[in-house]
Amino acid sequence: MSEFEKAITSGGDERIELKDNGLNKYFLDPLNAEGLLTRASCTCSPLGTDVKARVKAAFKMITSEEASVEDIRVKQRFRMKALLQNSNTSDFNIFFAPSGSDLCYYPILFSKIIEPNKPIMSLITRPEELGTGSILANTAHYHAEKTQVLDNVEKGGEIGCGIKVDHMLFPARDTDGGIVDHKRKIYEAIETYRETHTILVNLVIGSKSGIEDSITIINDGPKDVTWVIDLCQMRARPKLQRRAPDPGGLAVADRSNGTKYRRRVQPCQLKSS
């Protein structure tokens, strides 16, 4: 196995590692995409021919010290912002993570920085549209058995660091399969917990099961809430991807793996944070 192939299949959590049969835990060879039709940017997806060539070129630049990891990230951020930004889009930042589940830790971290002395209440919509890892990460638990820096952690165990996350789930459909509108119940939950908790509302947008999406819940909702929009592997119209918070708010955005975070806070909160 070449150094490049070792780098692709190590250094992360157990999902990218190869077993004795040469396949990962999803029964795929991440280094061989020949003859495969890959649906989306899942963690288990093999590298396509074009993607593999670009990643290999970047790896060569890093190992030869022609460029650093940060040099490549800066370039990638510029390209992604150029793709997503237009005249109606507020400025935003790009953050990288190994997977969609890892991205779920960002809003928790930001909320802890802004309100260090409050527990977090995570209101999670459409949990059946999320992978098990994302649900664990959204509630501040380890979603894997190892991390990029720790070789052994308890999957499902709390990440610690004084972070306490309570949560409520809002299923996409009722027992008869009908689509449920949780807008009123989410607003009620916000009112119930806003004095005692920092509120995260995790909205899954771009449904896997064909649900038509609307984010009017954000525009009509309270301003002192963190709205987390999971674009679900970018299955959303460009117009929706580019929508920005109301003027005067603070937007922290991550679209590097299909997820965008919005934080709308009052000016006094911006000063104190």
Domains detected in the chain: 3-67 (no CATH), 93-272 (3.40.640)
Can you tell me which residue has the tokens 């953050």? 95
Q: Which of 8, 11, 13, 20 is nearest to 153 (CA)?
A: 13
* Residue 223 CB partners (closer than 8 Å, separation 6+): 246, 249, 264, 265, 266
Q: Which helix (H) or strand (E) holds 111?
A: helix 105-114
pLDDT in tens, 111-136: 899 899 999 999 998 888 777 788 89
Residue pair 118/224 in contact by the 8 Å Cβ criterion: no
Q: Would strands 259-263 and 226-230 be described as parallel, antiparallel, or unpaired?
A: antiparallel
* Residue 29 CB partners (closer than 8 Å, separation 6+): 18, 22, 23, 46
| pTM of this structure | 0.80
Q: Among 147-156, 207-216, 217-226, name the one with the lowest average pLDDT.
A: 207-216
pLDDT at res. 239:
60
The residue-averaged pLDDT of 13-21 equals 89
pLDDT at res. 21:
92
The residue-averaged pLDDT of 23-35 equals 82
Helix (H, G, I), strand (E, B) or coil at 10: coil
The residue-averaged pLDDT of 157-184 equals 88
Q: Is the pLDDT of residue 89 over 70?
A: no
pLDDT at res. 207:
58
The side-by-side arrangement of strands in the sheet containing 165-170 is 165-170, 120-125, 198-204, 226-230, 259-263
Q: What is the CA radius of gyration of the chain?
A: 20
CA dihedral for 213, 214, 218, 221, sign (positive or negative): negative
* Residue 247 CB partners (closer than 8 Å, separation 6+): none
Length in residues, the chain: 273
Q: How far apart are the first and last CA of the chain?
A: 48
What are the respective helix, strand and coil percentages of the chain, to the nearest 5?
35, 10, 55
The residue-averaged pLDDT of 169-180 equals 86
Whole-number Cα distances in Å, 167 to 120, 139, 201, 252: 8, 7, 10, 22
pLDDT at res. 40:
52
Residue 238 CB neighbour total at 10 angstroms: 11
The residue-averaged pLDDT of 22-36 equals 82
Q: Is the pLDDT of residue 245 over 70?
A: no
Q: Which of 217, 230, 218, 231 is nearest to 183 (CA)?
A: 217
Residue 162 CB neighbour total at 10 angstroms: 8
Bigger pLDDT: 112 vs 254:
112
C-alpha 134: how far from chain center: 8
Q: Among 5-9, 25-29, 70-74, 198-202, name the one with the lowest average pLDDT.
A: 25-29
C-alpha to C-alpha distance for 175 and 108, rounded to whole angstroms: 31
